[in-house]
């Protein structure tokens, strides 16, 4: 076993590639096998520790080299970045220099303008007194123009109120009066003068009172009277003579001779004489001329009523209608339907007022005239 162990110790260990066969000394012949094995194991452990130290040092060297390479790459990247930043800074510096030059040029232009403006301000400062005089003159001229315009507008309002009162009082034309009042209110509104508020309130109440007044239908009344005039020309008069003769019975055809002669004579006598009761008050016969006179008199009464309605004459209107109704009932045939209808029409027209009470619209005119007189007295 000792010989075999020694043979094994002489074979180099493949786990130590850097150790050759000379590094393994042969065991001392005088030493014991246990000592030889112990020294051999110690030598192997020492060699392994040396190899581990060499390996650690190599790894540290590689790690330091990698770190150095990393620092070098970082330094190169920083240098490139710094170079780019420096290029941008140089470009910005060049742009700033150009902008600075442009600003200097603009400042020079502004300085020239400021100098020019200063000179103009000095010239305008010399014109300040003249401008003040012109402003005062313009204000005075504006006051005169506005006062004249206000006076003219107020005079227009006074004239419109006078027209409204004249139209309503003399001609009873309430529509024209209402238009004149509204136009006067528009003129006063354009003045925008608080002192005119009492006048405008009175004017507003007068306009409302005029609008609330019930106005008669004069057009319809006059049209109905004109229609009655036309109808009166053909109404039947009491006691009128029959205009056209017609036999009561026609002659019957008969053979010639005495019988036919007697028939002709009898028909002639019957047609020549007729008896008819006309009335209690008018039993006498009326000629054609008298009939025409009675019809024309009725037409004249209706025409007078129509004129009174147009003039607004209430008493004349009622009087003419009453006379027309009395004449119609007295002189015309009441059995005729046209006479009855005309009598009813005249009765209905007699109940229609043509002259209603009109409101007083003179208060606003008096107030405006009094104010105008006070203004003239103050000036």
Q: Which residues pair with 332 in a beta bridge?
A: 237
- 250-276 mean pLDDT: 60
**pLDDT exceeds 90 at position 323:** yes
Average pLDDT, the chain: 78
CA distances from 55 to 17, 41, 50, 61, 215 (A): 13, 21, 9, 10, 134
pLDDT in the model for residue 245: 44
Q: Judge whether 21 and 12 are in contact, CB under 8 Å.
A: yes
Q: Judge whether 263 and 343 are in contact, CB under 8 Å.
A: no
d(CA 13, CA 6): 14
pLDDT top residue among 310 and 348: 348
Give just the sign of the alpha carbon dihedral 129, 131, 135, 137. positive
pLDDT top residue among 66 and 12: 66
pLDDT in the model for residue 2: 38
Q: Using 50, 70 and 90 to split pLDDT, how confident is the model at 257?
A: low
Q: Judge whether 203 and 181 are in contact, CB under 8 Å.
A: yes
d(CA 42, CA 20): 17
pLDDT top residue among 173 and 243: 173
d(CA 183, CA 177): 10
Phi and psi based region of residue 357 (left: phi greater than 0; alpha: psi -120 to 50; beta: remaining):
beta
**pLDDT exceeds 70 at position 84:** yes
Residue 136, SS3 per DSSP: helix
Q: Among 1-5, 122-126, 146-150, 250-254, which stretch is predicted with the lowest mean pLDDT?
A: 1-5
pLDDT in the model for residue 24: 44
pLDDT in the model for residue 303: 93
Percentage, residues of the chain above pLDDT 70: 76
**pLDDT exceeds 80 at position 101:** yes
What is the rounded radius of gyration, in angstroms, for the C-alpha atoms of the chain? 71
- 231-255 mean pLDDT: 65
**pLDDT exceeds 50 at position 171:** yes
Domain ranges within the chain, ordered by starting residue: 148-213+362-378, 217-242+281-355
d(CA 317, CA 221): 11
Question: How many CB atoms within 10 Å of residue 324?
Answer: 28
**Which of 3-17, 123-137, 255-269, 339-353 tops mean pLDDT?**
339-353
The widest CA-to-CA distance across the chain, in whole angstroms, is 224
Model pTM score: 0.41
Give 288's Cβ-side CA count (13 Å radius).
3
Q: Using 50, 70 and 90 to split pLDDT, how confident is the model at 299?
A: very high
- 252-266 mean pLDDT: 63
261-264-266 Cα angle (round to 5): 105
Q: Judge whether 239 and 293 are in contact, CB under 8 Å.
A: no
d(CA 361, CA 166): 10
pLDDT in tens, 190-225: 888 888 889 889 989 988 888 887 677 778 888 998
pLDDT in the model for residue 66: 92
Q: Using 50, 70 and 90 to split pLDDT, how confident is the model at 8?
A: very low
pLDDT in the model for residue 1: 37
């Amino acid at each position: 076993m000792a010989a075999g162990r020694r043979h094994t110790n002489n074979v180099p260990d493949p786990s130590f590639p850097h150790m050759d066969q000379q590094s393994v000394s042969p065991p001392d012949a005088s030493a014991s096998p246990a000592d030889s094995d112990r020294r051999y194991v110690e030598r192997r452990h020492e060699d392994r520790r040396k190899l581990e130290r060499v390996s650690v040092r190599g790894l540290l060297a590689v790690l330091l080299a990698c770190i150095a390479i990393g620092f070098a790459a970082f330094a190169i990247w920083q240098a490139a970045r710094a170079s780019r930043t420096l290029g941008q800074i140089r470009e910005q510096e060049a742009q700033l220099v150009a902008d600075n030059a442009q600003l200097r040029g603009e400042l020079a232009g502004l300085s020239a303008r400021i100098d020019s403006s200063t000179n103009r301000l000095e010239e305008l400062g010399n014109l300040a007194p003249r401008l003040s005089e012109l402003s005062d003159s313009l204000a005075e001229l504006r006051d005169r123009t506005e006062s004249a315009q206000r006076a003219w507008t107020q005079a227009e309002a006074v004239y419109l109120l006078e027209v409204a009162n004249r139209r309503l009082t003399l001609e009873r034309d309430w529509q024209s009066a209402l238009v004149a009042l509204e136009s006067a209110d528009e003129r006063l509104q354009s003045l925008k003068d608080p002192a005119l508020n009492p006048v405008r309130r009175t004017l507003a109440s007068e306009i409302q009172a005029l609008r609330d007044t019930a106005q008669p239908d004069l057009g319809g009344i006059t049209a109905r009277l004109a229609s009655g005039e036309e109808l009166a020309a053909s109404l039947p008069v009491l006691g009128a003579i029959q205009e056209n003769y017609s036999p009561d019975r026609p002659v019957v055809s008969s053979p010639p001779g005495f019988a036919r002669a007697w028939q002709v004579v009898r028909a002639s006598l019957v047609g020549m004489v007729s008896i008819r009761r006309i009335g209690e008050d008018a039993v006498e016969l009326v000629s054609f001329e008298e009939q025409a006179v009675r019809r024309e008199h009725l037409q004249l009464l209706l025409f007078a009523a129509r004129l009174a309605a147009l003039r607004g004459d209430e008493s004349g209107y009622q009087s003419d209608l009453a006379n027309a109704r009395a004449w119609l009932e007295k002189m015309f045939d009441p059995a005729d339907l046209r006479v009855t209808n005309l009598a009813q029409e005249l009765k209905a027209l007699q109940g229609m007022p043509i002259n209603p009470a009109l409101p007083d619209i003179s208060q606003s005119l008096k107030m405006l005239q009094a104010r105008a007189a006070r203004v003239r007295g103050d000036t």
